[in-house]
């Protein structure tokens, strides 16, 4: 004779005066969780990831999230920087110090090497940001990297708003905005054919303001030029450019001493500063919350070359 089925009923009794509160995640917690999930999923699926790390705020936050994703172990992939040769010294010093602190392998692809041996030619306007594409693609090919983590955010620029979190690049490193995969239910399709690779953007759903609030919450150190400081600058096309060896004023452009900070860092010849008295994170957050311009639209001359400047470069293999 078979035993009768056993039915178990679990009853939870809470007193009327219970002080239990529903568990809720803040917006920053949700974004952090999503980014960590992306790192873990893609790294588990692919063989040779690499993370683009320039020392800029977005790549700093991305690296911080990667370190959290794989803690207590080390970040299980190297970091790659495409050095234009026109980078801010403060940023390069911060990059090297951070890599050493975390025990990471740093790969540097130098635009200057390509200019020196004739593979690239210096632009007439002196801007080297558009010259980063070929060194980047060569570094990916030489390292046989099949996933490249980048710090792009959808709120930065309209071409970046078209990107999926996992974005396929063909065997030439090129991007086709019409050929993108659906990403339903947080499922990321990183499959690709030999010779292709994927670009992965863990910060896609973050905004500039959320980046800064996260920096404040996590007490993340940044290069000093993100905060207000005195610098010799001159005005061109509505932007304050730093006076230096790679960015000199033209006739009629006056050098003045200003209290400025940088919202984004890159090639000194095309990255503008903004007037600011924000000397700490809270001051920056207040400024960013009040602005109506993205950091690229306000401070990157290379994005003003045409209406589709960023999209054209991305199609060729740019970040």
Domains of the chain by residue range? 27-208+310-316, 221-306
Torsion angles phi and psi, residue 42, rounded to 5: -70, -40
Nearest Cα neighbor of 262 from 238, 284, 244, 286 is: 284
Which tokens hold the place of 287?
Answer: 């400024």
Taking only the tens of pLDDT, the chain with its 319 residues reads: 455 554 445 444 445 555 666 678 899 999 999 999 999 999 999 999 999 999 999 999 999 999 999 999 999 999 999 999 999 999 999 999 999 999 999 999 999 999 999 999 998 877 888 899 999 999 999 999 999 999 989 888 777 778 889 988 888 878 787 888 888 888 888 888 888 899 999 999 999 999 999 999 999 999 999 999 999 999 988 889 999 888 888 888 899 999 999 998 888 888 889 999 999 999 999 999 998 787 755 555 544 444 556 566 666 656 6
pTM (predicted TM-score): 0.86
Contact 285, 216 (CB under 8 A): yes
DSSP assignments along 137-193, one per residue: HHHHHHHT-SEEE----TTS-TTGGG--SEEEE-TTS---TTS-----TT-------
Give me the residues paired with residue 273 across strands.
Answer: 240
Please report the sign of the dihedral spanned by the C-alpha atoms of residue 182, residue 56, residue 113, residue 107.
negative
DSSP assignments along 63-97, one per residue: HHHHHHHTTTSPPSS-EEEEE-S---HHHHHHHHH
Omega within 30 of 0 (cis) for the link into 72: yes
Dihedral of CA atoms 221, 222, 223, 228 in degrees, nearest 10, equals: -110
Residue 45, helix vs strand vs coil: helix
Other residues' Cβ atoms within 10 Å of the Cβ of residue 201: 25
Contact 221, 67 (CB under 8 A): no
**CATH superfamily membership of 27-208+310-316:** HUPs (3.40.50.620)
């Amino acid at each position: 004779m078979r035993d009768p089925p056993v039915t178990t009923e679990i009853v939870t009794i809470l007193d009327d005066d219970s002080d239990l509160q529903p568990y809720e995640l803040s917006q920053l917690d949700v974004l952090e969780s999503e980014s960590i999930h992306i790192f873990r999923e893609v790294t588990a699926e692919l063989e040779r990831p690499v993370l683009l790390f320039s020392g800029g705020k977005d790549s700093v936050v991305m690296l911080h999230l990667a370190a959290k994703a794989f803690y207590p172990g080390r970040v299980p992939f190297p970091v790659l920087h495409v050095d234009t040769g026109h980078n801010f010294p403060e940023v390069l010093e911060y990059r090297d110090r951070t890599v050493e602190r975390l025990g990471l392998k740093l790969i540097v692809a130098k635009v200057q090497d390509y200019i020196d041996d004739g593979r690239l030619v210096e632009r007439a306007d002196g801007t080297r940001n558009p010259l980063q594409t070929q060194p980047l693609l060569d570094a990916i090919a030489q390292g046989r990297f099949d996933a490249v983590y980048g710090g792009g955010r959808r709120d930065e620029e309209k071409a970046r708003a078209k990107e999926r979190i996992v974005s396929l690049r063909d065997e030439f490193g090129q991007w086709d905005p019409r050929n993108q995969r659906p990403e339903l239910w947080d499922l990321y399709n990183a499959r690709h054919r030999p010779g292709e690779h994927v670009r992965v953007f863990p910060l896609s759903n973050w905004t500039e303001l959320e980046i800064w609030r996260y920096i404040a919450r996590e007490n993340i150190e940044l290069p000093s030029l993100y905060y207000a400081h005195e610098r010799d600058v001159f005005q061109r096309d509505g932007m304050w450019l730093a006076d230096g060896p790679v960015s000199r004023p033209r006739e009629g452009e006056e050098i003045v001493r200003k209290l400025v900070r940088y919202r984004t860092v890159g090639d000194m010849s095309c990255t503008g500063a903004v007037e600011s008295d924000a000397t700490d994170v809270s001051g920056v957050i207040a400024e960013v919350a009040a602005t109506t311009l993205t950091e690229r639209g306000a401070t990157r001359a290379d994005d003003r070359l045409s209406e589709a400047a960023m999209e054209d470069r991305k199609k060729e293999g740019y970040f």
